[in-house]
């Protein structure tokens, strides 16, 4: 069965520090997709990234970077030089491409506080 | 381009009343999903449609909940009768079908915050 674990429930860092949000997943499929979403205090869910299981290259987008490691079934998210606007709940999610049910399974989320 | 549109953004109702939440997916998207988010249970998938057809409603809590998608640009989630435990934020999301189909990125609407007194 597919499962996503975000062990860090809540993290607080001071502005300008780097922070890494952990995501560990479980799947039996060889083809799958991983996602990160951001939910700021305003409540909407914002798509950040989608990664397929055949692409293990790390991704960088501005201050955001993602480290995908199949060997450890992890898809961690790092924010460099954090800013107060990064304060949000971040969700990691998994979808099995050959699964029967087309669903995305979300982790419980990590609440990130960036302190000024 | 317009994203997923949901209405109303906030709904306050009394127990026993009927509640209807509305969603307009992104044009051209073949999949539509309804989620519920609460502090206790996190983000739960309630039901999803492919080309207007309900595919999986196993997440619908009980018979009081129903969802329809009469056409490609409109879906409703109805709760009748509503109960205080239905209070939550309800999100609608849509995604493309096609060859990458099933695991395509879901784009979420702003949500409807429902309060049942």
How does the average pLDDT of chain B come out, rounded?
91
Do residue B110 and residue A43 have CB atoms under 8 angstroms apart?
A: yes
Question: For B6-33, how does the pLDDT look when each residue is reduced to its tens digit (9 = 90+)?
Answer: 999 999 999 999 999 999 999 999 899 9
B52 in contact with A, Cβ within 8 Å:
no
Q: How many angstroms separate the CA atoms of A31 and A73, rounded?
A: 13
At B99 the pLDDT is: 46
Q: How many angstroms separate the CA atoms of B23 and B33, rounded?
A: 10
How does the average pLDDT of chain A come out, rounded?
92
Q: Which residues does residue B47 pair with via DSSP β-bridges, in sequence order? A: B34
Counting Cα atoms < 13 Å in the Cβ hemisphere of B9 gives 6
At B32 the pLDDT is: 93
What parts of chain B have a pLDDT lower than 50? 98-101
Q: Which of B48, B95, B103 to mutate to test the interface with A (most CBs of A within 10 A)?
A: B103
Beta strands A19-21 and A64-69, pairing class: unpaired
Candidates B45, B101, B108; nearest CB to A44: B108
């Amino acid at each position: 069965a597919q499962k996503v674990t975000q062990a860090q429930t809540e993290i607080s860092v001071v502005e300008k520090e780097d922070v890494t949000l952990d995501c560990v997943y479980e799947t039996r499929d060889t083809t799958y997709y991983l996602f990160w979403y951001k939910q700021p205090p305003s409540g909407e869910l914002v798509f950040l990234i989608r990664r397929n299981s055949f692409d293990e290259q790390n991704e960088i987008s501005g201050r955001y970077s993602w480290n995908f490691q199949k060997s450890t079934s992890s898809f961690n998210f790092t924010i460099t030089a954090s800013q107060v606007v990064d304060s949000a709940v971040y969700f990691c999610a998994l979808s099995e491409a050959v699964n029967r049910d087309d669903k995305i399974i979300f982790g419980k989320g990590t609440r990130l506080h960036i302190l000024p | 381009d317009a994203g997923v549109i949901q209405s109303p953004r906030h709904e306050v109702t009394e127990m026993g009343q009927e509640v209807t939440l509305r969603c307009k997916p992104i044009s051209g998207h073949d999949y539509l999903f309804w989620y519920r988010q609460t502090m206790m249970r996190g983000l739960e998938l309630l039901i999803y449609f492919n080309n207007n057809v309900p595919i999986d409603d196993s997440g619908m809590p009980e018979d009081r909940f129903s969802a329809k998608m009469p056409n490609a640009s409109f879906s409703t989630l109805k709760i009748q009768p509503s109960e205080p435990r239905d209070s939550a934020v309800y999100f609608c999301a849509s995604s493309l079908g096609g060859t990458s189909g099933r695991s395509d990125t879901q784009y979420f609407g702003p949500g409807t915050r429902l309060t049942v007194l």
